[in-house]
Amino acid sequence: MAVDELGALEKCLGLKGGKYSCKAQGGGQVPVLQINKGPSLSGLATIASYLVKEAKKEELLGASIEEKTIVQQWLEYRITRIDRLASKEDVRCILKDLNLYLEDKVYLAGNTITLADILIYYGLHPIIADLSIQEKETYINVSRWFSHIQHYPGIRQHLPSLVFIKNRIYTNLH
């Protein structure tokens, strides 16, 4: 799955497809990229960051030291939290946190789109696809952000577009 996602990211960055394999690590599958000029790289966040540099789109890794760190922090959140959800309660917990975090933000790090938005979007896609309309309204900031990122040119790739309703139906929330 991570390999498909890196394929989508390559397309989105305008790169040719790389040579991938995967190996067992930490109880899951970790993608490995074979690089022509050097040793292989493993791990979703590591490879994704490498691809962005290969495509000469460093701006997607954040401009300042703070933004660079925040981008990497959300990539870590993706691989340690979103990829290891064990229960409904875990799902509620991450959606609640992201919803609060995104309350006053358009993007996860800084004022433009970064790799953090792209990989969290890919990681949340199956989770958001499972939410009811009412749940999408509960996590209104996540929904707004998600809808924005999926319409961002080139990012969605093979993933189905998810539907969000502009006008609230459940007016008793909040």
Under rule CB under 8 A, residue 21 binds other proteins: yes
| 87 versus 171: smaller Cβ distance to other proteins | 87
Contact 47, 33 (CB under 8 A): yes
Report how far apart, in Å, the C-alpha atoms of 2 and of each of 8, 44, 59 are.
Answer: 10, 7, 23
Contact 43, 79 (CB under 8 A): yes
Helix (H) or strand (E) holding 31: strand 28-34
| 64 versus 134: smaller Cβ distance to other proteins | 64
Site string for other proteins, 95-134 (x = CB under 8 A): -xx--xx-x-------------------------------
**Interface pick for other proteins out of 22, 85, 127, 159 (rule CB under 8 A):** 22
| 7 versus 43: smaller Cβ distance to other proteins | 43
Under rule CB under 8 A, residue 58 binds other proteins: no
Under rule CB under 8 A, residue 69 binds other proteins: yes
Report how far apart, in Å, the C-alpha atoms of 105 and of each of 53, 59, 98, 119 are.
Answer: 25, 18, 11, 17
d(CA 132, CA 120): 20
Residues of the shown chain interacting with other proteins in the complex, contacts defined by CB under 8 A = 21-30, 41-46, 49-50, 53, 65-66, 68-70, 72-73, 76-77, 79-80, 93, 96-97, 100-101, 103
